[in-house]
Amino acid sequence: MRRRLPGGDDLARPRADAGTHRHGAPGGGDRCPRHAGRPVGGPAHPLQGTQAALASRHRADGRRRRSGEGATRRRRVRRDRSRDDGDRGLRSARPGDLSPASCSQRGRLVGARSKDRGRSAGSAPRACRRVASRAVTRVAVIGAGSWGTAAAAILTKHAEVTLWARDDALARTIQRVHVNPRYLPGIALPETLCASSDLVGTCTGADVIVVAVPSHGFRDVLTAAASAIPDDVPVLSLSKGVEQQTHLRMTEVVSDVLPTHSRERIGVLTGPNLAREVAEAQPTASVIAMRDPDTAEELQRLFMTSTFRVYTNPDVVGCEIAGALKNVIAIA
């Protein structure tokens, strides 16, 4: 049966791009076991330029494989790659590999402050503070809407998370029954997720600040929390859009409200995401745009799950504008 199968990317017979052979029916040409290097169904033609060089190298590689050459080199490369896997960084990581145990190997977030940065008296209840055997990254998520709640639930897989809600009754409900009935009804939230209506207390002592409030209220909420946000703590916006009065992007609003904050550690998480689908663990992807690549990779580690794949990108402006335009196109 295998002898009757085509050797490459050929189309099913009959063929229109090759003539008859003796008294047989027309058949396809170039039946070597390789990619066609041409449009499907198009006639074969001489390769030129870069394609010719690639084809020549491919044929040379094939001859080495048939003659046994290069086997030693391939084995050596495989050994080198396996030795370097631990240092390859998050760009090659698979979501399934990012368990809490694997995250602990890197310790606390890049640039995280020391443990002497205690919580204020008005911080989240003591019952929310889990004791673990590994170094814990504390994340404050500002905004208990649908997207903020979904993001907070994801982050609990790799960090200690407190979700701030403007409404004290909503915060108490999330804290007590682990459900956000107002914005994500029917979705069970992790029991390790804490909720609080104390904005300054939520941000005090956090290693990462995630802001997930609508663009029209972004500045006022961040201004109220500014006193609890140190200059070296990463601030990540989850909000799409621009400020109506100033036409500033959300990362620009962060820089405006926190003028002494490190610009390299202000970024945005954006993508074609729907909060309920993310909360239901439906497969999706997003991107973290931040100028500091090390911090971006650590944030990538915090957000990555088996169903939520996160990429990094240094183009903060492009990613942020694309997120805003996506909503305009969706509405139109």
**What is the set of active-site residues?**
326
Cis peptide before 14 (omega within 30 of 0): yes
What type of residue is 31? R
- Judge contact between 18 and 28, C-beta under 8 A: yes
Distance CA 74, CA 82 (A): 12
Q: Which residues contact 61 (CB under 8 A, 6 or more apart)?
A: 70
CB 141 within 8 A of CB 148: yes
Structure tokens belonging to residue 41: 């169904």
3-state secondary structure of 133: coil
CA pair distance 202, 273, nearest whole angstrom: 26
